[in-house]
Amino acid sequence: MWSDLLAALALLMIIEGVLPFLNPAGFRRGLLQVAELPDNVLRGIGLFSLLTGALALWWIRA
């Protein structure tokens, strides 16, 4: 179980690092735009991401 969790975290770090590595200026602009979003929009995006990830994990593991 721990090896699966660590592998998932490693993959997350790889995926998260691709955009700032390939296009740092665009990544910075995107972060600035996200910082200006209202809290309720960020919560909605977070909820959508959480539910989509949970459903994908359930589907993969089933």
Task: Report the predicted TM-score, pTM, of the whole model to 2 decimal places.
Answer: 0.74
Please name the residues in contact with 30: beta carbons below 8 A apart, sequence gap of 6 or more: 19
Please name the residues in contact with 45: beta carbons below 8 A apart, sequence gap of 6 or more: 37
Region of residue 23 (left: phi > 0; alpha: psi -120 to 50; beta: else): beta
d(CA 17, CA 15): 5
Domain ranges of the chain: 2-61
Query: Is-contact 19 27, C-beta < 8 A?
Result: yes
**Average of per-residue pLDDT across 4-10:** 92
d(CA 62, CA 59): 5
Tens-place pLDDT, residues 18-51: 999 999 999 999 999 999 999 999 999 999 999 9
